[in-house]
Amino acid sequence: MKITKFDRLYQLTIMPNLFPVNCYLYEEDSELTLIDTGISASFNGIVKLVEEINKPLTNIVLTHAHGDHVGSLDLLKERFPNAVVSISKRDSRLLEGDFSLDDLEPKNPIKGGFDKKLKTVPERLLVEGDRIGLLEVIHTPGHTPGSISLFNPQSRHIIVGDAMQTKGKIAISGQLVPLFPFPMLATWSKELAVESVKKIIQLEPTLLAVGHGKIIVDPQNNIQHAIQVAEKKLVSI
């Protein structure tokens, strides 16, 4: 597992060259928050880093319900039973196998892989504006109906799950990246994905951390370009 540190944020990447799957540890003064759990093979690397930092893991936050973001959740909950597991209220339904759509949601099929054997039930259901330590929940639907991002208003670092990718190129979820097409194939609403990234850029992030690909520092120009590319493709459809 490859580990990269930016201030209080650790990026943990399994299979960095072939199929990078990221999860993140955010270090508070006296505790740790894990954002996403990667795949089952991510478990040992996560535990090793938690033990090296030597602070209690108190929160496990899921940016969305896809299998490559919840893959080691059951193992981690068994290893750290006091860690509070959180996911958005909307995506909690996907963990339960409920793929129905709300009245005002786009009537696109929900895509991507889901772990049907997951045993862990989230203890906290998140909505926009909730806080986990220094991190604020931002509702960023598109990849899934209940996708969220985690934003630190002090450092202006943002962890966006699969709202964007940087593997292959920097792109909004739902846009085809031939070198790494998987986020596009698993995206529910391209239109909402673009609107969510417009919301992200308004926060003026100084660091962009994604589910697949490297962290980008000072990402404003990259995000703006990704928005322009996505909007042109949506218009041409």
Structure tokens belonging to residue 181: 């097409």
Question: DSSP class of residue 105?
Answer: S
Burial of 128 (0-12, 13-18, 19+ CB in 10 A): exposed
Model confidence, pTM: 0.97
From first to last of the 237 residues of the chain, give the pLDDT tens digit: 999 999 999 999 999 988 999 999 999 999 999 999 999 999 999 999 999 999 999 999 999 999 999 999 999 999 999 999 999 999 999 999 999 999 999 999 999 999 989 999 999 999 999 999 999 999 999 999 999 999 999 999 999 999 999 999 999 999 999 999 999 999 999 999 999 999 999 999 999 999 999 999 999 999 999 999 999 988 765
For residues 152 and 8, give the distance between their C-alpha atoms in angstroms, rounded to a whole number: 11
**What six digits make up the tokens of 64?**
């969305």
The CA–CA distances, whole Å, from 45 to 18, 24, 199, 204 equal 18, 11, 33, 31
Sign of CA dihedral 143, 146, 147, 153: positive
Distance, in Å, from the CA atom of 232 to the CA atom of 89, rounded to the nearest integer, reads 32
Q: Closest by alpha carbon to 65, among 32, 41, 89?
A: 89
In the chain, where the domains are located: 2-236
Domain 2-236 CATH superfamily: Ribonuclease Z/Hydroxyacylglutathione hydrolase-like (3.60.15.10)
Alpha-carbon distances, residue 81 vs 47, 121, 228, 230 (angstroms)? 13, 12, 44, 41
